[in-house]
Structure 1
Amino acid sequence: ANQPTVPTVGNASTIYTQGFGGSQTSINTGFYLLGAPTCASLTASAGTFPFNATATVVNNCNISATNLNFAATGVLSSALNATASITAQCTNGDAYRIALNGGTNGTVAARQMTRTGGGGTVNYQLYVDAGLTTTWGDGTAGTTQATGTGTGNSQALTVYGVVPAQNTPAPGTYTDTITATISF
């Protein structure tokens, strides 16, 4: 824990190896009957030996997200904006991309929240950028995926959500479930 992050090479698991030769290692031994000798008194080498230490850094990513909650409103006569975050923690040097699906009720190009208990929908969209010009999806229907390069530390990406002005549906709670998929 708390070591500097190490890079992988070519987005693949990478093996790090350090060799130690016989001049760098030795075995010191001592025999005793009643009282153990101190380590400092074991100065005579009983032999040397080479060995290798290896560690494999695995190409890996973890992902988590917060909920996107639009403010309560009575009439949808103007746009509602909200943000959430998706946090990716990927191995240092590994490229990744995050796709968002169309949700339970719509498509990546036309997302919809449905009223709990049925009977209405609210249109909304998710974006990669604060300017709300690039729709965050799965790369289809004119959408894009968020991309990045891992640092070994957590990296937060902002999800920008908008409910555009539209005909106001019946009062209630409207929800949708989006699945985020990270590829690396």
Structure 2
Amino acid sequence: MTSLFNLRLIGLLATGFFCNAAYANCTVASTTTPASVLLGTHSTKVVSTGGITSGQITFLVQCTVTLGVALLGGASTLSYTVNNPLLLTHSTVPGEQIAYEIASNTTFNPTITTQGGSIGGSSFSLLSLALLASQNMRIPVYVRSGATSRWPRSGTYNSNQILHVSGSICTVSLLSACIGVTYPFSNNVTMPIQLEVSKLCEFISVTSDVSFGGSAFMDQVAPQTLTARVQCTHGDTFKIYANAGAYHNGTHRQMDRAGVQKIAYDIYHPGSTTNILTQANGYNKAGTGLAEDIVFPVRVIAGQTTPAMGNYQDTVRLVIEY
């Protein structure tokens, strides 16, 4: 029984003992590679959905000894903590911000979403995190943007993030306990992050047919409306206008019946019965970043002689500029 117990004890020590009794001074580089995290240029619509991910960024830990299982597989540790809020801030409008998260793998599991969050570990957790090359250890970092509640304002968004890196190299470990000499290291790593947001404005839907219905007399034709549902970058001005249509007479748009007779009508700015909507006199508005309805009154011009009965029509194109 005694011999069997001794054999088992020796086997346990053999699998849990890590030794490299060398002087292990380590330093952490103060910048990442590359030095800046550039998330690129994306439309406000794309940015609003989140998920814009950086390529791999790394920071370097350089030591005086070769790094491997003998040193890192035991009680050696390394972690990094996010010092600043995880927010990209607009360069000229500080109130405009886009959240982001930080991780050390492309699955973002685990991930850091709040200031003060950390990633790291010891033993084999550290080995799975680090990219080893002789006396160097590179820790990968990835950045991913979060979703926004509306299409964000166009422009440049920046974050001057700082990662506080700390850890220690243990020269002799027994399982997760350090029984040798511990060499601590720490430093702050600066990590500037930038995202460019480009403006966008889209029609979601537009009234396809505006019908005045049937009427025996021109003065009895009821006004109608043309509704454009749009979504445009928050804070950026856009312009909507209507072209002249197919039968404009120089003053008003007209509906035509088989090239024989016409009825004058027009499209007006929202809330107006006199301000005609044209390319030169378009409707200007600042986008909200959300879907919104813009209602344009459409009216038959008063004082016209009632033409012959029939179907009168015109085709008008609505245009949005931003």
Same fold (TM over 0.5): yes
Match of residue 246, structure 2, among 76, 101, 104: 104
8 Å contact 1:102–1:108 — kept in the other structure?
no
How do residues 35-74 of structure 1 correspond to structure 2 at under 5 angstroms? 51-63=191-203, 64-66=205-207, 67-74=209-216
The structure, 1 or 2, with the larger RCO (C-alpha pairs under 8 Å, 6+ apart) is 1
SS of 1:22's partner is strand
1:81, CA displacement in angstroms?
0.8
CA distance in 2 between counterparts of 1:156 and 1:6 reads 16
Structure 1's unaligned 5+ residue stretches are 27-44
Note closer, same or farther for the CA distance 1:100–1:6 as it changes in structure 2 (3 Å cut). Answer: closer
Letter in 1 for 2:298: G
CA distance in 1 between counterparts of 2:220 and 2:242 reads 25
Structure 2's unaligned 5+ residue stretches are 1-48, 50-146, 167-184
Query: Residue 118 of structure 1 corresponds to which residue in structure 2?
Result: 259
How many pairs are equivalent? 158
SS of 1:62's partner is strand
8 Å contact 2:272–2:297 — kept in the other structure?
no
How do residues 153-164 of structure 1 correspond to structure 2 at under 5 angstroms? 153-164=290-301
Letter in 2 for 1:65: V
The answer on 1:86 being equivalent to 2:223 is no
Note closer, same or farther for the CA distance 1:6–1:138 as it changes in structure 2 (3 Å cut). Answer: closer
8 Å contact 2:228–2:295 — kept in the other structure?
yes
8 Å contact 1:78–1:164 — kept in the other structure?
no
CA RMSD between the two structures = 3.0
Letter in 2 for 1:60: L
Structure showing greater radius of gyration is 2
The answer on 1:180 being equivalent to 2:318 is yes
Identity of counterpart residues, as a percentage?
26
CA distance in 2 between counterparts of 1:156 and 1:163 reads 23
1:113, CA displacement in angstroms?
0.6
Query: Residue 127 of structure 1 corresponds to which residue in structure 2?
Result: 268
CA distance in 1 between counterparts of 2:234 and 2:189 reads 34
Letter in 1 for 2:264: N
The answer on 1:4 being equivalent to 2:149 is yes
CA distance in 2 between counterparts of 1:52 and 1:108 reads 57
Note closer, same or farther for the CA distance 1:88–1:107 as it changes in structure 2 (3 Å cut). Answer: farther
CA distance in 2 between counterparts of 1:104 and 1:48 reads 67
Deviation above 6 Å: which 4+ runs of structure 1? none
CA distance in 1 between counterparts of 2:241 and 2:218 reads 28
Q: Which structure carries more strand by proportion?
A: 2
Letter in 1 for 2:216: G
Query: Residue 146 of structure 1 corresponds to which residue in structure 2?
Result: 283
1:50, CA displacement in angstroms?
5.3
Letter in 1 for 2:278: G
